[in-house]
Amino acid sequence: MDRIIVSGGARLVGEVQVSGSKNATLALMAAALLGEGETVLRNVPRLRDVDGMLQILAALGARAEWDAHDPNTLRILGDTVDRPEAPYDLVRRMRASFMVLGPLLARFGRGRVSEPGGCAIGVRPVDQHLKGLEALGAKIELSHGYVEASSERLHGARVAFDVCTVNGTQNVMMAACLADGETVLENAAREPEVIELAAVLTKMGARIEGAGTARVVVEGVSRLRGVEHAVSGDRIEAGTLLAAGVVTRGDVRVRGIDASVMQATIEKLRETGAEIELEQEGIRARAFDAPRGLDAVTAPYPGFATDMQSQLMAVLTVANGSSIVTETVFENRFMHVPELLRLGADISVSGRTAHVRGVPRLMGAPVMATDLRASAGLIVAALAAEGETEVNRVYHIDRGYERIEEKLRSLGARIRRVQGTGQEA
Ligand code: EPZ
């Protein structure tokens, strides 16, 4: 298995382009199933999760492939779907694939999708997805670990989500686009990825109002068409690179990101004492001293993103003073803490709250990545640590970061990947 080796202490300086958004892409790939004719997605990141969704689309019978001339362009044709079934072996590896159920149901009248099961950061049920699809008239059966859903024609309905769920909102919103009549989603997620999905669905011919607010109204139409769309920049990748700049007291510019979707992250980085400038098409972060301690609480958008929690915690491990980090979205998202302790951090956890007492320095050590964002946090900490840190199980990071070590190296980081064979990548 590949490992990433970081020799910490280098100040990061320079400019880097972020890739397209992983989470926006995954929802848009599911949405492509709804459109008659080809959908072309540009600025798509080359990630393990995207490959996972490609396998799911192929298993359904859709034609989904990378463009021959542009390595970040995907061409998807849903017209050829002939077996609307997403198998356990693929869904368990990439739970966002559960979002194909809404489009399959709405366009093809049925879908059989494996329940995703739990993951490292939490139980992550899909009850809200099913509640919404059932309200639209789907007949839902759970059998042998699969959700079997069918409907002659979905109809509009009022769906009040009990918890604010991003993929749940997206899944039901996609289904409602081809339902008969009006659907109202209450307590809908307001994430930028929900707004982007609604914008693309509208380009495809859908009628959606209120995306980005807690109340979304969808007027069903009879058919949707394939479209072309360039995926927006990844706000979590951008936040991770800025955090790397701050923890090394560097001067980093990220390009290809709309700062307006990162307000909460920018605020927190400013609270650490870093200077954050919003520029045309980008953000600049400069830090001159050790970060300041702060309190942070994760929350659904526009709150502070849970996907940025471990990276911010890594910055706070070397802060002047102490910090309180509270995780409210997922019940088990402190898996990075024991690994940060191995680097010499001083953190105690009680329930969903971590108390981080800043230390003067971290020391490199072998650590284990447990999930995508935990591994990003470990790399941010390793950049500030004295000596070498070896991050194991980096397949987690390849799920959501495109060529992370190359991007960090271009900013001056001493970082390299060692392939399972021991050869340098
Ligand atoms: C999306 O996951 C993102 N994934 C996650 O990013 C992100 O952490 C999460 O939203 C929150 O921002 C993608 O978009 C592919 P949720 P999602 O449903 O939609 C509970 C990353 O690192 N819940 O908003 O699956 C759930 O257990 C990933 O890129 C139910 O109880 O998250 C959680 O506690 C990780 N029932 C809370 O809601 C449901 O039916 C929020 O989860 C659905 C969710």
Query: Does the pLDDT at position 231 exceed 80?
Result: yes
> For residue 88, how far is its CA from the centre of ligand 1 (angstroms)?
19
Q: What is the pLDDT of residue 413?
A: 98
Q: What is the pLDDT of residue 48?
A: 96
Task: Indicate whether residue 167 lines ligand 1 (CB < 6 A).
Answer: yes
Q: Which residues contact 332 (CB under 8 A, 6 or more apart)?
A: 120, 121, 122
Give the pLDDT band (50/70/90) at residue 118: confident
Atom 5 in ligand 1: which residue has the minimum CA distance? Answer: 307
Query: Does the pLDDT at position 422 exceed 70?
Result: no
Q: Could you tell me if 78 and 34 are in contact, meaning their C-beta atoms sit under 8 angstroms apart?
A: yes
Give the pLDDT band (50/70/90) at residue 425: low
Query: Which amino acid is it at 411?
Result: L
Q: How far apart are CA 331 and CA 200, in angstroms?
A: 32
Q: Report the percentage of the chain scoring pLDDT > 90.
A: 95
Query: Does the pLDDT at position 119 exceed 90?
Result: no
Burial of 28 (0-12, 13-18, 19+ CB in 10 A): buried
> For residue 155, how far is its CA from the centre of ligand 1 (angstroms)?
26
Q: Among 47, 134, 166, which is best to mutate for testing ligand 1, by the most ligand atoms less than 8 A from CB?
A: 166
Q: How far apart are CA 284 and CA 152, in angstroms?
A: 52
pTM of the predicted model, to two decimals? 0.97
DSSP code for 97 = G
Give the pLDDT band (50/70/90) at residue 202: very high
Q: Could you tell me if 238 and 252 are in contact, meaning their C-beta atoms sit under 8 angstroms apart?
A: no
Residues with a catalytic annotation lie at 119
Q: Could you tell me if 227 and 235 are in contact, meaning their C-beta atoms sit under 8 angstroms apart?
A: no
Give the pLDDT band (50/70/90) at residue 281: confident
Query: Does the pLDDT at position 106 exceed 80?
Result: yes
Q: What is the pLDDT of residue 117?
A: 80
- Reported as a single tens digit per residue, the pLDDT across 403-415 is 999 999 999 999 9
Task: Indicate whether residue 303 lines ligand 1 (CB < 6 A).
Answer: no
Q: What is the mean pLDDT of residues 318-345?
A: 97
Task: Indicate whether residue 170 lines ligand 1 (CB < 6 A).
Answer: no
Q: Among 56, 91, 163, 240, which is best to mutate for testing ligand 1, by the most ligand atoms less than 8 A from CB?
A: 163
Atom 6 in ligand 1: which residue has the minimum CA distance? Answer: 307
Task: Indicate whether residue 304 lines ligand 1 (CB < 6 A).
Answer: no
- Reported as a single tens digit per residue, the pLDDT across 127-169 is 999 999 999 999 999 999 999 999 999 999 999 999 999 999 9
Give the pLDDT band (50/70/90) at residue 424: low
**φ/ψ (deg, to 5) at 4:** -115, 130
Q: What is the mean pLDDT of residues 351-369?
A: 97
Query: Does the pLDDT at position 352 exceed 80?
Result: yes
Kindly report the average pLDDT of the chain as a whole number: 96
The CA angle 93-94-97, to the nearest 5 degrees, is 135
In the numeric block, the tokens 């100040």 are attached to 11
- Reported as a single tens digit per residue, the pLDDT across 9-19 is 999 999 999 99
Closest CA relative to residue 415, chosen from 367, 370, 382: 382
